[in-house]
């Protein structure tokens, strides 16, 4: 579905930004298209981390329930890039204070990439606005 959604994007000038599970998907897109990616506290092993939620669960920000199926975990496992093939294509923002994901695992996965290892912080990167100029510059959205 993701590949269909970006099929018409200009591959020579596109870039992606993703946070958490979106950071995992941004890595998938970057590996498959060659585009640059900004990652914010990216999930490294979402298949492993989400396997414990198989079944009926409650949505994060509401009382709505939905079914998380085992095949979703299998799909995540099959999507995971075996390696980061061109580290210069990535800029990772990793908060040591992330309360959801282990910053050490993120750091190890993206060790050879451009990175901002942030003291403290949180999973939501609450100080996002402070980092946006560097992100935009990396993606060529600004001249600075």
Report field, pTM of the whole predicted structure over 0.95:
no
Confidence of residue 142 (pLDDT cuts 50, 70, 90): confident
- Domain containing 90 equals 2-44+86-138
Place of tokens 């959604």: 5
Check pLDDT > 70 for residue 27. yes
Please check whether residue 110 is in contact with residue 39, taking contact to mean a CB–CB distance below 8 angstroms: yes
SS3 38: strand
SS3 9: coil
Show which of 55, 79, 103 is a domain's final residue: 79
Q: Average pLDDT, whole number, for the chain? A: 94
> What pLDDT sits at residue 143?
55
Place of tokens 């298209």: 33
69 and 134 housed in the same domain? no
What confidence tens digit (pLDDT) does each residue in 34-92 have? 999 999 999 999 999 999 999 999 987 889 999 989 999 999 999 999 999 999 999 99
> What pLDDT sits at residue 59?
82
Instruction: Confirm whether 33 is domain-assigned.
Output: yes
74 and 100 housed in the same domain? no
């Amino acid at each position: 579905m993701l590949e269909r959604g970006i099929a018409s994007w200009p591959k020579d000038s596109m870039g992606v930004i993703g946070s958490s599970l979106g950071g995992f998907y941004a890595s998938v897109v970057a590996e498959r298209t060659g585009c640059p990616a900004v990652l914010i506290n990216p999930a490294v092993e979402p298949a492993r981390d989400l396997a414990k939620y198989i079944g009926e669960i409650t949505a994060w920000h509401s009382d709505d329930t939905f079914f998380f199926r085992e095949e979703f975990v299998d799909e995540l496992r099959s999507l995971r890039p075996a390696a980061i093939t061109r580290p210069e294509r990535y800029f990772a923002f990793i908060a040591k204070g992330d309360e959801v994901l282990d910053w050490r695992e993120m750091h190890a996965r993206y060790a050879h990439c451009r990175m901002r290892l942030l003291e403290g912080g949180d999973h939501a990167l609450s100080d996002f606005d402070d980092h946006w100029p560097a992100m935009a510059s990396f993606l060529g959205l600004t001249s600075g």
